[in-house]
Structure 1
Amino acid sequence: MGIFERYLSLWVALAITCGVALGLLMPNAFGQIAKLEIAHINLPVAVLIWLMIYPMMIQIDWSAIKDVGKKPKGLALTLFVNWLIKPFSMALIGWLFFRVLFADLVDPTSASEYIAGMILLGVAPCTAMVFVWSQLVKGDANYTLVQVSVNDMVMIFAFAPITGFLLGMSDISIPWQTLVYSTILYVLLPLLAGVVTRQVLKADSNKIAQLSMRLKPFSTAGLLLTVVLLFAFQAQTILDNPLIILLIAIPLLVQTYGIFFLTYVLAKYLKLPHQICGPACLIGTSNFFELAVAVAISLFGLHSGASLATVVGVLVEVPVMLSLVAWLNRQQ
């Protein structure tokens, strides 16, 4: 695990601090950036998100899907948790905390946006970081690749309908055109770009690894600059109510640990070996936060509580996932 991944929460925290400071110092400049959009999709952020997502998609080997029929239990568990449990549990937990437990601490409009951000995280299962978590728990690398590949294929068709349904259930107005555009821009097109890149490189693992390493600094910069932008636009809100980060983090922690242990119990019931059980649990637990951030910005805007909630997901995820990796390794 590289220094960036290991200390991701630290870098994100520094980017948050930088973003808040810049937002307070130069509000007009960031106001101009916010106006650069088409169909409610902010163009500077779209470029940054692509810098993050494209290097990940290069690593997806679609030829691995031919092995789907081998050891189907682990794959079935991954799909069941990711698409039939996690999105709905995230929506429920978001509603419980922001409509009931935190109702006196957050105004109704902001509560709706925080719930929306949580839903976007819940409907976006992890892609790239799964390979890191799988390696750390000594998971079956080939099987993890199959799980991720199939998961991404399902995401193309399931992300927009499930997101729209859950946002509608939360009484949030859904700009369907923007949601569909976002799915195409941030899921379908990057996946196709990854496929084309692999064909150009003739699926040579060494060339793919070399290209990924060359693109890694751009991916890192894309993530951190996106965080800086988001928190620059949220600067005044955070200054007025600094406890909001904690209020968002609490339900995200409940969801993350809850989904993990539910998946672990199901994996043990299915008698999955550790090298398949571990990655299956971690895929369902972690989030494709790059996608969630991009869609939150597209649907609700850079200033929104939904965008803030998705970025808090970035801040929370890495230390939590490392704690779960350590716990899994002790169960061997």
Structure 2
Amino acid sequence: MSAPAATGPVSARLSFLDRYLALWILAAMAAGLGLGRLVPGLGDALARVTVAGVSLPIALGLLVMMYPVLAKVRYDRLDTVTRDRPLLIWSLVLNWVIGPALMFALAWIFLPDLPEYRTGLIIVGLARCIAMVIIWNDLACGHREAAAVLVAVNSVFQVLAFGLLGWFYLDLLPGLLGLATTGLDISVREIARAVLIFLGVPLAAGYLTRRLGEKARGREWYETELIPRIGPFALYGLLFTIVVLFALQGEAITSKPLDVARIALPLLVYFAVMWAGSMAIGRAAGLDYPKATTLAFTAAGNNFELAIAVAIATFGATSGQALAGVVGPLIEVPVLIGLVYVALRVRRYFPTTPVTTPVAMTPAEGSTRV
């Protein structure tokens, strides 16, 4: 995907599906909440079969969502990203130092009297984004290859650091500060399995699709014929995932509006601070717009699928921790969609650099941004 033209309103340059993406997402949320309330036992039925602790329908939706975007990545350009040390270093600092610490602080500031929700938010802060960030980055004309690399780095650190950081922020640090502690017992093997399934499978499929497709028919056919056909399925997978996700806890969300509002407030602050701060850091570090945008979205997004799986596996599907995990995407999805438009607006404040994003879309591609 290439950056849109420099002139004209953003909405006018988007396809019909892209232009009203926020509306489709909100409709999917409403549909999921409605189904969860209206169909008795639906949540239990959806949660009965799981993959790596995640409902099978959600797992399928995630795989469908991830595959088309990863099939767009120009893997032959990844070496240009790994050589960008400022981007990699700042990504690690923002994701694994600043992000978890900020969520820990906000959880205690806003929810000092609600330990279950507070613990759920801290778990969300520890689960760094490895999925939907690729969607937001793509929509905001970020650097697709940089996003793939940073997602891979986050995945490795997820496996290595999640359990250790969980112990630090839920047990050690609260104890040192004289605060209440909450145990978190999660297997590193389970986290590794979840990462392998929800990132490794679509990543391998996307890589093989590009490699074999270009070898058989050439790059021009791949970019102008195949990608437009499979691209829209990422949006379909995203919407399906959201419907199922909110159907799982529709009753809990709609029956506790004040609790949801209290959980939502620190999340709103978190997403705004992390995204704006990361964007400013990228600009100060001399990154161009595509890479600064990728840095901002990979730092602000969270892997709510993993957070929900950990909360359910550790505390139960009806726990406050699980509810806090579900509220995460309820807030994250519309906020980050809004930040896509903010990113496109502030693009003019970044230095002009040669285009490094993949081949520009043709009119025939339609809604292949997602």
**TM-score w.r.t. length of structure 2:** 0.74
Deviation at 1:174, TM superposition (A): 1.8
SS of residue paired to 1:180: helix
Tell which structure's C-alpha radius of gyration is larger: 2
Equivalent in the alignment of 2:106: 97
- Cα distance between partner residues in 2 of 1:244 and 1:77: 40
Q: Alignment partner for residue 230 of structure 2, among 212, 215, 221?
A: 215
In structure 2, what residue type is equivalent to 1:21? G
Preserved CA contact (<8 Å) 2:123 2:166: yes
- Secondary structure class of the residue paired with 2:154: helix
Q: Is the 8 A contact 2:136 2:337 kept in 1?
A: no
Find out whether 1:240 has 2:247 as its counterpart. no
Cα displacement (A) at 1:239: 1.9
Paired AA for residue 317 in structure 1: L
Match of 1:161 in 2: 160
Match of 2:368 in 1: none
Aligned to 2:188: 176
Residues 222 and 174 of structure 1: is their aligned pair in 2 closer, same or farther, counting only changes over 3 Å?
same
2:152 is aligned with 1:132:
no
2: CA distance, partners of 1:209 / 1:283: 24
Question: Which aligned runs of 4 or more in structure 1 are off by greater than 4 angstroms?
Answer: 121-125, 287-291
The residue type paired with residue 342 of structure 2 is S
Structure with more of its chain in helix, by fraction? 1
Change (3 A) 1:196 1:97: same
Partner of 1:198: 210
Distance 1:221 1:125, change over 3 A: closer
Q: Tell me the residue number matched to 2:72.
A: 59
Equivalent residues in 2 for 1:222-233, closer than 5 Å: 222-233=237-248
**Contact 1:117–1:310 (CA under 8 A) maintained in structure 2:** no
1:18 aligns with 2:31: yes
| Worse-matched range after superposition: 86-95 or 257-266 | 257-266
3-state DSSP of counterpart to 2:134: coil
Partner SS state of residue 257, structure 2 = coil
Taking only the aligned residue pairs, the percentage that are identical comes to 20
**Deviation at 1:167?**
2.5
Give me the CA root mean square deviation. 2.9
Residue correspondences, number: 314
CA distance in 2, matches of 1:331, 1:63: 26
1:47 is aligned to 60
Gaps of 5+ in 1: 136-143
Please point out which of 57, 64, 87 is paired with 1:78: 87
For residue 140 of structure 1, what is the aligned residue in structure 2?
none
Structure 2 gap ranges (5+) = 1-13, 171-183, 352-370
Aligned residue in 2 for 1:112: 119
**Whole-angstrom distance in 2 between the partners of 1:213 and 1:20:** 31
Give the letter aligned to residue 166 of structure 1.
L
Q: Give SS of 1:173's match.
A: coil
Given the alignment of the two structures, is residue 277 of structure 1 paired with residue 305 of structure 2, yes or no?
A: no
Distance in 2 between the 1:330 and 1:202 partners? 36
**Cα–Cα, structure 1 residues 4 and 168, in superposed 2: closer, same or farther, change >3 Å?**
farther
Change beyond 3 A, Cα 1:179–1:209 = farther
The residue identity in structure 2 corresponding to 1:150 is V
- Contact 1:264-1:277 at 8 Å conserved across structures: no
Structure 1 position 114, deviation (Å): 2.5
